[in-house]
Amino acid sequence: MMDRIDRELLRLTQDGIGIEERPFLHAATALGIGEEEVVARLQRLRQNGVVRRFGTRINPRKADFPANAMVVWSVPRDRIADIGAAMAESPDVTHCYERRTIPGRWEYNLYTVLHCRDREDALRRVAALSRATGAAEYRVLFSTEEFKQRPGGRIGPAAGPERGQ
């Protein structure tokens, strides 16, 4: 059961916490409780399924990873679960998800994102993923500018083409 403090804690942390020595100090001060209690409450909320995951998001460019690549893969339907799982397990891949194809226009159904120091490194890592999984048909799309990124992105199947893909 959640109480008023739990609800306020969720509100205070839903958009992320700072990367600092004491990341829970702000929430603890705002709630009038200790940092240890903040952590204990978040752990309990996680164990009870209220919080599905607690993660961090970095700005890859500021972290000296300027070569951000989305790789689109054309994978046979009967292999997408296995290849997707293998790619998702790769330490090089930060995002991995399936999307529907647009027959005759866009045949790529598996998407991965990698953050690397330079384009050559990204291309080497993509080639290694291709060899390791047998996914030979792909395109590498490098980002050029980030306009907006929001925390709290949804995990799971992505929107289909009819939703502005």
Can you list the pairs that 47-55 forms with residues at least 24 positions away whose Cβ atoms lie under 8 Å?
50/2, 50/6, 50/10, 51/10, 52/155, 53/155
For the chain, counts of helices (H) and of strands (E): 5, 4
Beta strands (DSSP E) in 41-142 are 67-73, 93-98, 110-116, 138-142
| pLDDT reading at 103 higher than 70 | yes
pLDDT digits (tens, 9 = 90+) for 104-133: 999 999 999 998 888 999 999 999 999 999
Rounded CA-CA distance 51/45 in Å is: 6
pTM over 0.85: no
Strand order in the sheet with 67-73: 93-98, 110-116, 67-73, 138-142
pLDDT band at 71 (very low <50, low <70, confident <90, very high): very high
Ordered structural domains, the chain, with CATH: 4-47 (no CATH), 67-144 (3.30.70.3460)
Quick one: which of 58, 59, 49, 50 has its CA closest to 11? 50
Contacts of 160 (CB under 8 A, 6+ apart): 99, 100
Return the percentage of the chain with pLDDT > 90, whole number: 64
